[in-house]
Amino acid sequence: MRMGRRIVVTVVVAASISWAADTPTIDAAALVRQTVDNETKTGDHTKFMFQDRKQTPNGTSTKLIVETKEATAGLVIAYDDKPLGPKQRQDELQRVQRFIDNPDELRKKAKQEKEDADRVTRIMRALPDAFVYQVVGKEQGANGVGKPGAELVKLSFEPNPKYDPPSRVEQVLVGMNGYLLIDASQKRLARIDGNLFKDVGFGWGILGHLDRGGHFLVEQGDVNNGHWDITRMNLKFTGKILLFKKLDIESQETCSGFRSVPADLTFAQGVELLKKQQEEIAQK
């Protein structure tokens, strides 16, 4: 599922809606359910190599990332937009080499990624029941947000008072509102912009809560001939984990330069691709 590589919490649905008088009635519930079904299907096994630039209050880091059939591999290539020196590049290679040298470490990494993806899937599948929506307009897709020029439906969302979260994983949804953009023809989510208007508890394998005032923005788009992926993610949350340890997340992340790689790529082969790309960048 494409919405999965990181923490993604968001949106959608209930009730029929109308466009302007000259447009047909849209069944919002059906549209959202079809979109969620499409987002969570497992039929697309396309994998990519891309760059991920992440900015936090401590600075920026840029990674080369490649998706493999075993787990995701990544190499930092710059800090604060400055290329790594020879020693730093060697340290990065040693960091990822440990997953190749130690199969148990690679299995742990793959297990963690699967658990993260499973949580995202549970959140996504809850969306059709967790929110009530209202159409507030239309927008055009752009680079990184849907497909350039495509028409996107904009819906505001509020918690559905009748929704009863089945577990702590879905609990975060009861304190969230915001808006989303859907490509109705492709049945894809192009943008999710949400706010926490009250404190909420969460599970995610640890007990804790998120403070009101938190915000997230996630965008995805057509990055390669009909294949969609995350292109931007902004997160800002505070709270506590394990009921006493402070949680403070603030980051802005952009992904670019997507190119497809073989679907049967192994982790070791993926690292070799990263090494080659790292060397090419270092020589520029």
Segment 126-134 shows an average pLDDT of 90
Asked if the model's pLDDT at residue 210 lies above 70, the reply is yes
Whole-number pLDDT of residue 42: 66
d(CA 266, CA 257): 21
Find where tokens 């090494």 sit: 275
Residue 279 — pLDDT band, cuts 50, 70, 90? confident
Residues 197/216, Cβ–Cβ less than 8 Å: no
Average pLDDT of span 159-165: 93
Q: Tokens 């923490």 map to which residue?
A: 7
Q: Is 173 helix (H, G, I), strand (E, B) or coil?
A: helix
Reduced to 3 states, what is the DSSP secondary structure of residue 33? helix
Mean of pLDDT values over 86-111: 94
- What b/e string do you get for 151-165 counting C-beta neighbours within 10 Å, with b at 16 or more? ebbbbbbebbeebeb
How many Cβ atoms sit within 10 Å of the Cβ of residue 96?
Answer: 18
Q: What is the mean pLDDT of residues 271-281?
A: 90
Q: How far apart are CA 163 and CA 130, in angstroms?
A: 5
Closest CA to 178 of 199, 151, 197: 197
Please check the confidence at residue 45 and state whether its pLDDT lies above 90: no
Domain boundaries, the chain: 16-282
Check whether 101 has a pLDDT greater than 60: yes
Going through the chain in order, the beta strands assigned E by DSSP cover 16-18, 25-27, 47-56, 59-67, 72-79, 82-83, 131-140, 151-159, 176-183, 188-196, 200-202, 208-210, 215-224, 227-241, 245-261
Indicate the average pLDDT of the chain: 86
DSSP conformation class of 143? T
Q: How confident is the model at residue 22 (pLDDT cuts 50, 70, 90)?
A: very low
User: Which residue bears the tokens 């949106």?
Assistant: 11
Query: What residue has token string 């993604």?
Result: 8
Confidence of residue 149 (pLDDT cuts 50, 70, 90): very high
* Residue-wise pLDDT tens digits, 133-142: 888 889 999 9
The interaxial angle of helices 86-101 and 103-130, nearest 10 deg, is: 90
Tell me: the pLDDT tens digits for 238-248?
A: 998 876 788 89
